[in-house]
């Protein structure tokens, strides 16, 4: 038994082609088919020019052997009403002043009530606003008449049989996908609109189709036991019409565009039906297409139409009423048009305009899902009147806005880091689950993208560091370079339903084998200190505190928290050995990451000018041997507390380590500067202060003075 494809299942009328570097959807049209709805007819160039003028650019044409002309027209993503010949003919008529001849047809029912034979249960009216079923008995499946085959061939379709061709004709005439089931293959002659069951199997129609596995995200059309179609996407092989079909159920419905698109992309199944449902089909337009299909089938396949329609779904929304101020229209277009001219233009679009004082009130046709506000109606007036007729100024006066303080701060940050030898990177925000989990704070979870296109990187990064580590690895592997890099980007995580997005700056210093790890850390710490001084105006804006090994930042060892006031805004340290190895590092890798917003919130900082000192300072260097765990901030704090008003500044000089000091000891040298505002100091005044500071350091941190 031979099976035939149904509406749009074999179509090539909506190809995706390359144009100037982006993907664009086009539709093949027949000049003669378009002229079926135009009075007087338009030649190919007139059709192409008119469609281009109203927003559907002409892409090319081909002369056909029978005298027809096939033209390819670019489609607008928000104009689902024009992905068909009647819709494009309506546009041509509005632009050129021709009369649009709407297709018409309604079959006469002579059979018993359809409710006696079939039933429809719609369990998902939110996803299927309306589902209608009609029944024709006694049809004869065979070849379509020549005129119908010619119309389909003209747009690249392959005629199949009169039932399939009729559904395809209505699809490309009115833009309404329909479907025909073999009634004898529907169990209990029931139609049920429901969500798919977990792991429910489905065999799509088509010669080379493979069985797919559905899940509860997919909307299906089913009988009492099985899915017989993927709603809005593809019909099933088990209920397809064949050369022995005599009784048919005609489906005309509409489905939620997002649900159709998600299912189509997830299953990798696309069709001309899904293409149109993704652009929107209004429930009020379903009946006209069903009537047209019924009349066509009765004409070319015979049969008896059962009386009535079985339908289920939500109430059909009323047409939208949109008001437009005609003075506002003129203000936007920049050209004076009389209200009657506007009304005439809107009448050609079947907007039923009514003038009420300063207002033109329009009843928007249900097919025009793209029109909902005043500016949309103004656009329609301008589009049909002709954008090329609008007055255009040769020059436009502009006043550049002053740079925002935040942008100035970001520019300063970039310039400073580049001047320190860092290269700015731009990387993708998706990373692998493994990379995301490594750099995730305690109590937080990752945000994931549930798309097949994400491949092995479905997680939104909770840190910029994994991206920088991958970049460092590529530079080592491909160029033998050990880079300094930074990136300013968004990072993401969540806690339950609370999603968090923050902007961070990540920095990386990739060292060579044998380089001193502490030196890389000091380089990065110095860069952060200069960054804090530049953005916040004070040299000690950041405080570096040793981090909790069991807390956040476990990907760093050693690790220090970077504090701004009482808030922790980031971390600095060396990447742990196991993480460094996993990224192919052959030397120490120092990294830091700070949250950007606190850094730029107060920019530019308020700086106070102070007079230069009039008297010289006396500087003394003090070297202290301390445990490795003692940090500079502790030493500086003790020294400042022990000094008096003559102590002007404390400066870090160097850290010295040697086996003579012991494996866990180091020598820290600081420079103490003393100064008086009213005189030149004498050494005798400074000596007691140096001794007091030295004694305080020895007692507080257990240090030992070096001579």
User: Per-residue confidence at 632, pLDDT binned at 50, 70, 90?
Assistant: confident
Q: Please name the residues in contact with 182: beta carbons below 8 A apart, sequence gap of 6 or more.
A: 239, 240, 241, 242, 245, 247, 248
State the pLDDT at residue 452. Answer: 59
- Picking from 222, 211, 220, the residue whose alpha carbon sits closest to that of residue 189 is 222
Instruction: Classify 105 as helix, strand or coil.
Output: coil
Structure-block tokens of residue 104:
């018409």
H or E segment to which residue 222 belongs: strand 219-222
Q: Report how far residue 233's alpha carbon sits from residue 165's, in angstroms, rounded to the nearest whole number.
A: 18
3-state secondary structure 682-696: CHHHHHHHHHHHHHH
**Taking the domains of the chain in order of start, what are their residue ranges?**
1-317, 321-388, 405-600, 618-705
- Do residues 624 and 705 touch, judged by C-beta distance below 8 A? yes
User: Per-residue confidence at 12, pLDDT binned at 50, 70, 90?
Assistant: very low
Q: What is the mean pLDDT of the chain?
A: 91
Average pLDDT over residues 140-150: 96
Which residue bears the tokens 């506002």? 328
Q: What is the DSSP string of 11-59?
A: --SS-EEEETTEEEEEEEEEHHHHHTTEES---HHHHHHHHHHTT--EE
Evaluate if residue 2 carries a pLDDT over 50: no
Q: Report how far residue 111's alpha carbon sits from residue 214's, in angstroms, rounded to the nearest whole number.
A: 37
Average pLDDT over residues 15-28: 52
Q: Report how far residue 228's alpha carbon sits from residue 222's, in angstroms, rounded to the nearest whole number.
A: 5
Evaluate if residue 152 carries a pLDDT over 80: yes
The CB density around residue 441, as the number of other CB atoms within 10 Å, is 15
User: Per-residue confidence at 515, pLDDT binned at 50, 70, 90?
Assistant: confident
- Do residues 281 and 80 touch, judged by C-beta distance below 8 A? yes
State the pLDDT at residue 611. Answer: 86
- Do residues 248 and 136 touch, judged by C-beta distance below 8 A? yes
State the pLDDT at residue 395. Answer: 86
Q: Which segments of 319-462 does DSSP mark as H helices, in order? A: 326-333, 339-348, 374-385, 405-419, 433-438
* pTM for the model: 0.66
Q: Report how far residue 222's alpha carbon sits from residue 181's, in angstroms, rounded to the nearest whole number.
A: 11
Instruction: Classify 533 as helix, strand or coil.
Output: helix
Phi-psi region of 388 (alpha: psi -120 to 50; beta: other; left: phi over 0): alpha
State the pLDDT at residue 19. Answer: 31
Strands 304-307 and 109-113, sheet pairing: parallel
State the pLDDT at residue 23. Answer: 42
- Picking from 227, 173, 174, 177, the residue whose alpha carbon sits closest to that of residue 205 is 227
Average pLDDT over residues 613-626: 94
Evaluate if residue 549 carries a pLDDT over 50: yes
User: What pLDDT, in 10s, does the model give residues 365-379?
Assistant: 999 999 999 999 999
Q: How many residues does the chain have?
A: 707
Q: What is the DSSP string of 618-649?
A: EEEEEEEEEETT--HHHHHHHHHHH--TTEEE
- Picking from 286, 203, 195, the residue whose alpha carbon sits closest to that of residue 239 is 203
State the pLDDT at residue 394. Answer: 80
H or E segment to which residue 299 belongs: helix 286-301
User: Per-residue confidence at 662, pLDDT binned at 50, 70, 90?
Assistant: confident
Structure-block tokens of residue 196:
């798919």
- The CA distances from residue 703 to 649, 664, 666, 699, in Å, are 21, 13, 10, 7
Name which residue leads in pLDDT, 573 or 20: 573
Q: Report how far residue 265's alpha carbon sits from residue 260's, in angstroms, rounded to the nearest whole number.
A: 9
Q: Report how far residue 421's alpha carbon sits from residue 649's, in angstroms, rounded to the nearest whole number.
A: 29
Average pLDDT over residues 202-230: 93
Evaluate if residue 10 carries a pLDDT over 90: no
Q: Report how far residue 542's alpha carbon sits from residue 539's, in angstroms, rounded to the nearest whole number.
A: 8
Structure-block tokens of residue 443:
């109590």
Name which residue leads in pLDDT, 457 or 198: 198
- 233 class by beta-carbon count within 10 Å (0-12 exposed, 13-18 middle, 19+ buried): buried
- Do residues 102 and 292 touch, judged by C-beta distance below 8 A? no
Evaluate if residue 20 carries a pLDDT over 80: no
CATH number for the domain formed by residue range(s) 321-388: 3.30.56.10
State the pLDDT at residue 25. Answer: 82
How far is residue 225 CA from its own chain's centroid? 38
Q: Please name the residues in contact with 386: beta carbons below 8 A apart, sequence gap of 6 or more.
A: 53
Whether the link from the prior residue into 40 is cis, omega within 30° of 0, is: yes
CATH number for the domain formed by residue range(s) 618-705: 3.30.70.380
- Do residues 480 and 437 touch, judged by C-beta distance below 8 A? no
State the pLDDT at residue 402. Answer: 83
Whether the link from the prior residue into 346 is cis, omega within 30° of 0, is: no
Same fold: 1-317 with 321-388: no
Q: Give helix then strand counts, H and E, for the chain.
A: 19, 36
1-317 is classed CATH 3.40.50.11540? no
Q: In what order do the strands lie in the sheet with 219-222?
A: 119-122, 190-195, 219-222, 227-230, 234-235
User: Per-residue confidence at 451, pLDDT binned at 50, 70, 90?
Assistant: low
Evaluate if residue 612 carries a pLDDT over 60: yes
How far is residue 86 CA from its own chain's centroid? 33
Q: Report how far residue 503's alpha carbon sits from residue 490's, in angstroms, rounded to the nearest whole number.
A: 4
Give the least confident one: 7-16, 200-209, 225-234. 7-16
- Picking from 248, 3, 9, 243, the residue whose alpha carbon sits closest to that of residue 143 is 243
Evaluate if residue 411 carries a pLDDT over 90: yes
State the pLDDT at residue 448. Answer: 87
- Picking from 571, 441, 561, the residue whose alpha carbon sits closest to that of residue 495 is 441
Name which residue leads in pLDDT, 223 or 456: 223
Beta bridge partners of 83: none
State the pLDDT at residue 21. Answer: 33
Average pLDDT over residues 3-16: 33
State the pLDDT at residue 454. Answer: 55
- Picking from 258, 279, 299, 370, the residue whose alpha carbon sits closest to that of residue 108 is 299
Structure-block tokens of residue 97:
């002043």
State the pLDDT at residue 14. Answer: 36
User: What pLDDT, in 10s, does the model give residues 64-112?
Assistant: 999 999 999 999 888 999 999 999 999 999 999 999 999 988 878 888 9
H or E segment to which residue 168 belongs: helix 162-174
User: Kindly report the CA angle at 217 between 216 and 219, in degrees rounded to 5?
Assistant: 90
CATH class belonging to 405-600: alpha beta
How far is residue 365 CA from its own chain's centroid? 30
């Amino acid at each position: 038994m031979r099976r035939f494809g149904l509406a749009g299942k074999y179509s090539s009328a909506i190809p995706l082609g390359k144009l100037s570097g982006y993907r664009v959807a086009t539709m093949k049209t027949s000049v003669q088919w378009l002229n079926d709805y135009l009075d007087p007819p338009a030649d190919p160039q007139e059709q192409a020019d008119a469609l281009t003028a109203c927003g559907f650019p002409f892409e090319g044409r081909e002369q056909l052997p029978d005298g027809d002309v096939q033209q390819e027209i670019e489609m607008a993503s928000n104009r689902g009403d024009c992905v068909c010949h009647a819709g494009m003919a309506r546009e041509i008529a509005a632009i050129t002043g021709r009369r649009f001849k709407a297709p018409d047809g309604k079959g006469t029912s002579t059979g018993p009530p359809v409710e006696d034979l079939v039933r429809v249960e719609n369990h998902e009216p939110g996803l299927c606003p309306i589902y209608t079923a009609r029944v024709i008995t006694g049809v004869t499946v065979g070849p379509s008449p020549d005129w119908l085959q010619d119309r389909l061939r003209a747009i690249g379709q392959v005629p199949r049989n009169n039932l399939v061709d009729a559904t395809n004709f209505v699809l490309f005439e009115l833009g309404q996908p329909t479907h025909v089931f073999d009634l004898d293959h529907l169990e209990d002659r029931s139609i049920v609109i429901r969500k798919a069951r977990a792991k429910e199997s489905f065999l799509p129609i088509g010669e080379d189709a493979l069985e797919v596995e559905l899940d509860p995200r997919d909307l299906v059309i089913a009988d009492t036991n099985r899915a017989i179609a993927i709603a809005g996407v593809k019909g099933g092989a088990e209920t397809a019409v064949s050369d022995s079909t005599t009784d048919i159920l005609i489906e005309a419905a509409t489905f939620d565009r997002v649900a159709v698109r998600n299912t189509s992309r997830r299953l990798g199944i696309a069709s001309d039906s899904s293409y149109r449902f993704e652009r929107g089909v209004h429930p009020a337009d379903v009946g006209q297409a069903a009537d047209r299909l019924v009349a066509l089938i009765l004409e070319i396949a015979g049969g008896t139409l059962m009386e009535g329609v079985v339908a289920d779904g939500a109430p059909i929304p009323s047409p939208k009423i949109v008001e437009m101020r005609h003075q506002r229209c003129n203000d936007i277009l920049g050209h004076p048009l009389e209200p009657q001219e506007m009304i005439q233009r809107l009448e050609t679009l079947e907007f039923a305009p009514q003038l009420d004082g300063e207002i033109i009130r329009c009843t928007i046709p249900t097919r025009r899902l793209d029109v909902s506000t005043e500016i949309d109606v103004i656009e329609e007036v301008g589009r049909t009147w002709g954008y090329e007729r609008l007055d255009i100024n040769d020059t436009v006066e502009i006043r550049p806005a002053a740079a925002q303080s935040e942008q100035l701060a970001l520019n300063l940050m970039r310039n400073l880091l580049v001047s320190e030898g860092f290269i700015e990177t731009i990387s993708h925000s998706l990373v692998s689950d493994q990379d995301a989990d490594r750099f995730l704070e305690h109590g937080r979870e990752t945000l994931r993208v549930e798309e097949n296109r994400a491949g092995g990187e479905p997680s939104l990064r909770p840190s910029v560091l994994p991206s920088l580590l991958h970049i460092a690895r590529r530079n080592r592997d491909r160029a033998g370079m050990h880079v300094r890099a930074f990136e300013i980007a968004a990072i993401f995580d969540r806690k339950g339903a609370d999603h968090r997005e923050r902007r961070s700056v990540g920095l990386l210093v990739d060292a060579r084998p044998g380089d001193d790890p502490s030196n890389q850390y000091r380089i990065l710490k110095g860069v952060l200190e200069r960054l804090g001084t530049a953005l916040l105006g004070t040299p000690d804006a950041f405080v570096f505190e040793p981090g909790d090994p069991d807390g956040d930042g476990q990907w760093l060892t050693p690790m220090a928290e970077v504090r701004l006031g009482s808030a922790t805004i980031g971390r600095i340290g060396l990447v742990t050995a196991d993480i460094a190895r996993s990224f192919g590092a052959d030397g120490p890798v120092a990294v830091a990451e700070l949250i950007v917003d606190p850094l730029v919130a107060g920019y530019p900082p308020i700086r106070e000018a102070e007079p230069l000192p009039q008297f010289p300072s006396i500087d003394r260097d003090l070297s202290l041997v301390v445990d490795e765990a003692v940090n500079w901030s502790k030493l500086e704090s003790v020294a400042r507390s022990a000094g008096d008003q003559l102590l002007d500044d404390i400066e870090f000089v160097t850290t010295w380590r040697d086996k003579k000091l012991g494996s866990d000891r180091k020598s820290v040298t600081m420079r103490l500067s003393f100064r008086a505002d009213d005189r030149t100091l004498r050494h005798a005044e400074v000596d007691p202060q140096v001794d007091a500071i030295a004694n305080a350091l020895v007692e507080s941190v257990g240090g030992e003075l070096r001579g």
